[in-house]
């Protein structure tokens, strides 16, 4: 049976893992390659590394971080942040990533999705959507959550799918870093509108939040960062609780 994936996210700034609340107030959480290996050993199904500040000067650092992290990692590894062109994507794949995640650049030029998908396959392209409630709708924001894009998150997810995205990484900006739980309404809205897998992100605080987002949110995978880095929840404990609640999960042998 296909299991629900638990994805550990490493938000990286200048080669170090950091974690903030609602995209601000960053705290140091350790070395990316060490944390990735630890999460993999603890039962994470996948690792996502997001370069959250991704400025031009820091690109070389990022590629080196990706190379170092990928070296001894034998589970899927995705990298995002600052991917603007096919060349950026190619360099990240070359450094050892299996998938890239694109956000602002895809909104600015949606043809980037098909361009990367044609060269590396749809399975290698995640379109990340940072969504924020706007009345009864959800709007996609860009530039690391600094600017509204004017696009409806659900419609944008559908367009991304039609252009060749293999997965959607959907972050609730309202919940990010709060530990109050995933936004199940947002997740369900998007997950039921597309045929590709949706990864829920933003707001994980405890096992019950993962149960809700898989049941009510119809998520295919769920991502969290701070709860794992600071040891609030071990991935194995989390999976045991999900299993007890009847959610199919993988236990590493």
Partner 1 sequence: MIAIVDFKAGNLTSVKKACDHLGAETVITSDPAQVLKAEKIVLPGVGHFAATKALDDSGLRDAIVNSIDRRVPFLGICVGMQWMLASSEEAPEVHGLALWPGECSRFPANVKSPHVGWNSLHIRNGESRLLRGVAPGSYVYFTHSYRVPLLAATAAECEYGGSFSAAVERDNLFGVQFHPEKSGAAGLTILKNFCDLQC
139 touching partner 1, by CB under 8 A: no
- Specify the residue, 5 or 19, whose C-beta has the smaller distance to partner 1: 5
- Candidates 124, 129, 190, 222; binder of partner 1 (CB under 8 A) is 124
Residue 241 contacts residue 207 (beta carbons within 8 Å): yes
Using the contact rule CB under 8 A, the part of the chain among 54-62, 145-153, 177-185, 245-253 near partner 1 is 245-253
Whether 11 is catalytic is yes
Q: Which class for 150: exposed (0-12), middle (13-18), buried (19 or more C-beta within 10 A)? A: exposed
DSSP-derived secondary structure letter, 57? G
196 binding partner 1? (CB under 8 A):
yes
Residue of 13, 130, 183, 220 with catalytic role: 130
State which of residues 166, 181, 202, 217 lies at the interface with partner 1 (CB under 8 A). 166
Beta bridge partners of 201: 171, 223
- Here's the x/- map for partner 1, 81-100, by CB under 8 A: it reads as ------------xxxx-x--
Examine residue 197 and tell whether it contacts partner 1 (CB under 8 A).
yes
Query: Could you say whether residue 3 binds partner 1 (CB under 8 A)?
Result: yes
Strand 16-21 with 125-134, pairing: unpaired
Please report how close the Cβ of residue 18 comes to partner 1 at its closest, in angstroms.
26
Alpha helices in the chain (DSSP H): 32-41, 59-70, 86-94, 104-108, 111-120, 153-162, 184-191, 207-215, 226-229, 235-244
Q: How far is residue 159 CA from its own chain's centroid?
A: 19
Q: Which is nearer to partner 1, 54 or 124 (CB)?
A: 124
**What's the chain's length in residues?**
253
Residues near partner 1 (CB under 8 A): 1-5, 40, 45, 70-72, 74-76, 93-96, 98, 120-124, 166-167, 195-197, 220-221, 250-253
């Amino acid at each position: 049976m296909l299991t629900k994936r638990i994805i550990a996210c490493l938000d990286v700034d200048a080669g170090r893992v950091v974690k903030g609340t609602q995209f601000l107030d960053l705290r140091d959480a350790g070395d990316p390659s060490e944390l990735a290996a630890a999460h993999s050993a603890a039962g994470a199904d996948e690792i996502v590394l997001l370069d959250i500040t991704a400025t031009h000067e820091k690109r070389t650092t990022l590629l080196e971080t990706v190379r170092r992290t990928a070296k001894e990692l034998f589970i899927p590894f995705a990298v995002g942040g600052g991917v603007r062109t096919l060349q950026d994507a190619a360099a990240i794949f070359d450094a050892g990533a299996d998938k890239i995640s694109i956000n602002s650049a895809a909104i600015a030029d949606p043809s980037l999705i098909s361009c990367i998908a044609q060269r590396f396959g749809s399975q290698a392209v995640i379109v990340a959507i940072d969504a924020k409630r706007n009345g009864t709708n959800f709007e996609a924001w860009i530039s690391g959550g600094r600017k509204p894009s004017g696009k409806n998150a659900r419609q944008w997810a559908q367009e991304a799918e039609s252009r060749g995205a293999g997965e959607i990484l959907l972050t609730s900006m309202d919940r990010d870093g709060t530990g109050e739980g995933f936004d199940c309404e947002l997740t369900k809205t998007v997950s039921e509108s597309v045929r590709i897998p949706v990864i829920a992100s933003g707001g994980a605080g405890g096992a019950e939040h993962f149960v809700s987002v898989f049941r009510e949110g119809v998520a295919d995978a769920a991502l969290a960062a701070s709860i794992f880095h600071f040891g609030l929840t071990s991935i194995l404990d989390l999976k045991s609780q999900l299993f007890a609640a009847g959610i199919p999960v993988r236990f590493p042998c």
